[in-house]
């Protein structure tokens, strides 16, 4: 039995100097990652699909993150990105573009094909260190599972990340999580993902307030894992939610259970008898629409008084940064809620915009 204890970062890069710069920057920042390299898009796909010299699982553990150059021989980065995102078993692996190109067309094409982020290679080593620190803070945080010789956890672990406050995945003692390569998993990587980077369109009529990935994607626990999601929509205690994940078995989003907003209103807690069936991309959807403070402003043309409910409502856009991927900061007020928002009682920022 092989237990791969260190998260794998796979860099697709044909430039040996850039490989060395990244490795030295990782060492300088003391990130504990198993950094592996492939030289072009064809080799990248061979690695991920375990073909050719990568046929053995020992030589090709599934990466938690792919760093992808665009300018490579044989098959370039955009072609490889397209192939990966069209592969049902690979599309959930986060991919960060790391390239010399600052072309707006390359940026747009990368995001359109499903890249999680786009970074331009720096010219100086000190800037490589800065880049690695930023990437590491976002992508390299992980929870280590203490395992016995058979791959079962020896004590309970609660996996969290400061990037998603109030998210908590519980791995009970005596749990074994089997990865896609058939070996026990010893580390979990939780990564927030912009809601427009979903591997597949959301179900009809469903809009998720946030999205995150738990890697290695496709890993299956011996027992479902209890989980608490952040209540970012500030639904009142006792509210019910459907719990979604991207199901690789059927290639679409699926409901795996239900959850209830906790008494303090901070979290949506998976109901008894439900737990994560596998590691994947996850989110929640409230069964009852959120209050008017966030969603339903029936008579927008008649603000600040909602003619349907008689409630006082305000919607303000404070800042818009126009671009192909525009950013807007919006805030809303509703007299119907007693929730304390970022600007005081009744005020809140639009959920998606607070997480850009």
Return the closest-CA partner of residue 205 out of 303, 329, 289: 289
Name the token pair of 335: 């007299």
Share the mean pLDDT of the chain.
82
Percent of the chain past pLDDT 90, that is, above it, reads: 35
Express each pLDDT in 159-214 by its tens digit.
Answer: 988 788 899 999 999 999 998 778 888 888 888 887 777 767 888 878 888 888 88
Predicted confidence at residue 261, as pLDDT, reads 95
Of 9-23, 137-151, 207-221, 315-329, the one with minimum mean pLDDT is 315-329
Express each pLDDT in 15-36 by its tens digit.
Answer: 999 999 999 998 888 777 788 9
| Mean predicted confidence (pLDDT) in 133-159 | 84
Predicted confidence at residue 292, as pLDDT, reads 43
Q: Residue 335's pLDDT band (boundaries 50, 70, 90)? A: low
Predicted confidence at residue 332, as pLDDT, reads 67
**169-187 burial: b if 16+ Cβ within 10 Å, else e:** bbbbeebbbbbbbebbbbb
Name the token pair of 79: 């072609």
Express each pLDDT in 93-141 by its tens digit.
Answer: 888 999 999 888 898 899 888 888 888 998 889 899 988 887 887 776 6
- The answer to whether 188 touches 143, Cβ cutoff 8 Å, is yes
Alpha-carbon span 106 to 12, nearest angstrom: 17
Instruction: Kindly list the strands in the beta sheet with 227-230, ordered across the sheet, starting from the edge strand earlier in the chain.
Output: 142-144, 187-192, 212-215, 281-286, 240-247, 252-261, 267-270, 227-230, 168-171, 157-159
Q: Which CATH architecture has domain 8-139?
A: 3-Layer(aba) Sandwich (3.40)
Predicted confidence at residue 191, as pLDDT, reads 83
Is it true that 8-139 and 142-286 share their CATH fold? no
Euclidean distance between the first and final Cα of the chain, in Å? 41
Task: Determine the topology of domain 142-286 in CATH.
Answer: Chondroitinase Ac; Chain A, domain 3 (2.60.220)
In whole angstroms, how far apart are CA 225 and each of 169, 174, 278? 7, 12, 8
Predicted confidence at residue 354, as pLDDT, reads 45
Of 47-61, 179-193, 265-279, the one with minimum mean pLDDT is 179-193
Number of C-beta neighbours around residue 356 at 10 A: 11
- 3-class DSSP state of 53: helix
Q: For residue 58, is pLDDT > 70? A: yes
Of 4-18, 166-180, 262-276, 279-293, the one with minimum mean pLDDT is 279-293
Is the model more confident about 136 or about 332?
A: 136
Name the token pair of 317: 């856009």
Q: Residue 12's pLDDT band (boundaries 50, 70, 90)? A: very high
Q: For residue 42, is pLDDT > 80? A: yes
Percent of the chain past pLDDT 70, that is, above it, reads: 80
Name the token pair of 199: 């591997």
Size of the chain, expressed as the number of residues it contains: 356
Number of C-beta neighbours around residue 226 at 10 A: 18
pTM (whole model) above 0.75: no
Predicted confidence at residue 2, as pLDDT, reads 42
Number of C-beta neighbours around residue 341 at 10 A: 18
Q: What is the dihedral of CA 140, 146, 152, 155, to 10 degrees?
A: -120
Tokens 């990340």, residue located: 161
Q: For residue 291, is pLDDT > 60? A: no
Domain limits, the chain? 8-139, 142-286, 300-355
Predicted confidence at residue 82, as pLDDT, reads 92
Predicted confidence at residue 4, as pLDDT, reads 45
**Cβ neighbours of residue 72 under 8 Å, at least 6 residues apart?**
12, 13, 14, 39, 40, 41, 80
Predicted confidence at residue 334, as pLDDT, reads 63
């Amino acid at each position: 039995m092989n237990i791969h204890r260190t998260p794998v970062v796979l860099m697709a890069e044909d430039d040996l100097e850039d490989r060395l710069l990244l490795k030295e920057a990782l060492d300088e920042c003391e990130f504990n990652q198993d950094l592996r390299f492939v030289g072009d898009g064809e080799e990248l796909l061979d690695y991920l699909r375990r073909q050719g010299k990568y046929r053995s699982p020992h030589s090709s553990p599934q990466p938690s993150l792919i760093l992808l150059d665009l300018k490579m021989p044989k098959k370039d980065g955009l072609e490889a990105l397209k192939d990966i995102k069209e592969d049902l078993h690979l599309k959930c692996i986060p991919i960060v573009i790391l390239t010399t190109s600052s072309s707006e067309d390359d940026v747009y094409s990368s995001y359109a094909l499903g890249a999680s982020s786009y970074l331009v290679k720096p010219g100086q080593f000190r800037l490589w260190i800065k880049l690695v620190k930023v990437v590491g803070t976002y992508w390299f945080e992980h929870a280590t599972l203490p395992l016995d010789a058979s791959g079962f956890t020896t004590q309970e672990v609660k996996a969290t990340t400061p990037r998603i406050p109030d998210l908590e995945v519980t791995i009970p003692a005596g749990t074994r999580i089997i990865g896609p390569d058939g070996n026990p998993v010893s580390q979990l990587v939780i990564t927030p993902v912009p809601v427009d980077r979903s591997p597949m369109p959301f179900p009809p009529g469903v809009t998720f307030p946030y999205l995150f990935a738990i890697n290695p994607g496709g890993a299956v626990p011996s027992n479902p894992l209890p989980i608490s999601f952040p209540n970012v929509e500030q639904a009142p205690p006792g509210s019910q939610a459907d719990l979604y994940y991207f199901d690789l078995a059927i290639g679409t989003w699926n409901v795996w259970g239900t959850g209830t907003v906790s008494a303090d209103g901070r979290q949506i807690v998976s109901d008894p008898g439900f737990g994560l069936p596998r590691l994947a991309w996850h989110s929640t959807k409230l069964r009852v629409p959120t209050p008017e403070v966030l969603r339903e402003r029936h008579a927008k043309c008649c603000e600040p008084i909602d003619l349907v409910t008689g409630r006082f409502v305000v919607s303000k856009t404070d800042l818009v940064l126009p671009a192909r991927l525009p950013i807007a900061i919006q805030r809303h007020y509703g007299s119907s809620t007693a929730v304390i928002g970022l600007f005081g009682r009744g005020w809140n920022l639009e959920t998606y915009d607070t997480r850009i």
